[in-house]
Structure 1
Amino acid sequence: MDRLSDYNVVGSLLGLGEFILLEILCEMEIPQDAQQFLVLCRKTFKLLIHPRFMRIIQSIIEIQPIFIIKEFRLGRSDQNIFIHSDEIDNCTIAMNPVIIEGIVKIQIMFDNNEGWGSCIGIADASCSFAAGDGPGDYENRFKTVGYYSHGCFDHIITSETKGNQKYEDGQRIAVEVDMTTVPRKATFFVDDIEQPNFVIGIPEAVRFWVYTYNKSSSFSIIRFERLIKSTSQGVYGSKELQWGKERE
């Protein structure tokens, strides 16, 4: 990977002071760029002890989610928590930012679903969820893939793909998208355990989304971050699902 040329600093790092180096680091958006920059920068030891260094690294790694709430009747957000309305209804909440590069992982926890269906997944960035719609309603079934709490994996067809484990309130559910691989890939986790069903060939720009149904249910975003390397290792019995194709 050679991205430092974008910042016009290759070959001239030694002549720059630590404050300028910190400003260059501030402009970087993915951890891989920051890692390469620090490897090339021989003044790294000075940056490591600078009070701004850890704040900058944290800002590169951590992502602040923005909930896309189409109508107030769907529910409300409180920092990194979305709380469903006091009515039973479909509620699909997509999140910004759009993911177009790097490796990004989101981890959430559901609460108060009481056995009702809940789901997490990814969508083509062009996808829009109307108030009261499920994630796979109408044409969105071609633009989304989701992992439901009963363990099924849904994309395009209504007959869901089984194989991933069930999950409940209080468990940590995660999705990782790797935009650096060919083909691009999405992997799912429950309590840090990788699930066998994964998706390849995902769109070049995606959003994460979460679905709730029960009144006053909620989900909390525990972690939303950019990664230097994928946490996916592959598991026994893994099965790939091709984005845009029905499962045979």
Structure 2
Amino acid sequence: MTSTPLSLQVVGNVEYIPVVPHADDVNISGSVFTSKSDNHSVILFEPPIKSGIVKFEVQAMYQLFGLGIAQDPAQFKRNEGPQVVGKERMIFYICNGQIAFADERIEDNAEFDKGNYVALELNMDSNPRTLSFFIDDEEQKNYITDIPECVSFWVFLFEINSSFKVTKFERLCEATASHGSGTVATSFQSKKQTVVEPPKIVVQQPKPHAYQTIKKHPIPHTAQIPKGFLVKDVKVKDDTFTLTIHKYTTILFDPIVKNGVFRFEVLSVNKFAGVGIAEEDVKYERNETPWIRGEKKTVRYDKFGAIAHGDYIKGNTEFHDGDRVALEVFEHGFRTSHAHFLRE
């Protein structure tokens, strides 16, 4: 029987054709295959696979001897075992947990028996191409790399009454095999084994910053008076600012913060509305709120405990008369100026 390799990658179930060596040896009932003679039967499942990620799963019903893949083209006759196609052209997952191909016998995968679900997953898109093994959805330790470019799945019925059920034959959008730490890859071509090592954890020491050598000290500052501001709007005495009229007043404080870590703290004396930071190019005129130049250009912490920066984030503590309110700015934030917002 001549078969055409499948090249179209469509995610979902694959319509398969079981190729039984002799109809008198195997009973097929839906997706259940049962040997009804003492002859060996290797059942080949078409179409052959040469691209994409394909998972083939069976449930071992009774005395399932094994399953595997064979390089295309492959053909099995009545009462033949899988080795007849050539040990260099097939991979055999045996019920005792061994993987056999060429003269190799790879151990440490799980055995399977009645009731177990056994799956083979081909990844024909990876480089190298891989064949991974699963028992009851658990990925096994050993997997095979450098798979031939076109292969077919097969299942081996060894004796009378042995049986299995096909539960999956599907194309996947991504591989389920992770090949994590401790798994072992064996090349189908070179027979070389490679143990997947755990990722190395490199602890990087933080780079020293210039501000780490600067001692904590007060920063001389200057209050920027809004354009059009009248002296009678705000009374300034030492470091105390008092609004004297019913107008908004936003006061910027220099110097501009561009690097290092800075802490700015105020004492709420009477009906203090909020404090925050603004981008470097923001300037204010008389009777303007902090957000007048755009919500995204400022970060505001108001007396209700909310933070405003486009969004309105609730959950911080409210502040009242007599509370000290502090902002701490460091170099990964805005290039900023500090701002007071006074409102009667």
TM (norm. structure 2) is: 0.51
Correspondence list, 1:68-87, <5 A: 68-85=19-36, 87=37
Task: Give the equivalent residue in structure 2 for 1:48.
Answer: none
Give the Cα–Cα distance (whole angstroms) in 1 for the partners of residues 142 and 83 of structure 2. Answer: 18
Aligned to 2:184: 239
Shift of 1:246: 4.5
Equivalent residues in 2 for 1:1-248, closer than 5 Å: 29-31=8-10, 60-85=11-36, 87-113=37-63, 118-137=65-84, 139-157=85-103, 160-246=105-191
Higher strand share: 2
Contact 1:65–1:80 (Cα < 8 Å) also in 2: no
Distance apart, 1:90 and its partner CA: 2.0
Whose Rg is larger?
A: 2
Structure 1 distance, partners of 2:192, 2:92, is 14
- CA RMSD in angstroms comes to 1.9
Q: Distance in 2 between matches of 1:108 and 1:230?
A: 18
Identity, in percent, stands at 25
The separation in 1 between residues aligned to 2:182 and 2:109, in whole angstroms, is 10
Q: Which has the higher helix share?
A: 1
Unmatched 5+ residue regions in structure 2?
A: 1-6, 194-344
Quote the Cα distance in structure 2 between the aligned partners of 1:94 and 1:237: 32
The SS at the match of 1:72 is: coil
Preserved contact between residue 67 and residue 93 of structure 1 (Cα < 8 Å): yes
For normalisation by structure 1, the TM-score amounts to 0.70
Between the two proteins, the alignment pairs up a number of residues equal to: 187
Distance 1:226 1:90 in 2: 29
Secondary structure of the structure 1 residue equivalent to 2:106: coil
How has the CA–CA distance of structure 1 residues 247 and 75 changed in structure 2, closer, same or farther, with 3 Å as cutoff? farther
Give unpaired runs (5+ residues) of structure 1. 1-27, 32-59
Q: CA deviation at 1:244?
A: 3.4
* 1:8 match: none
Superposition deviation, residue 30 in structure 1: 2.4
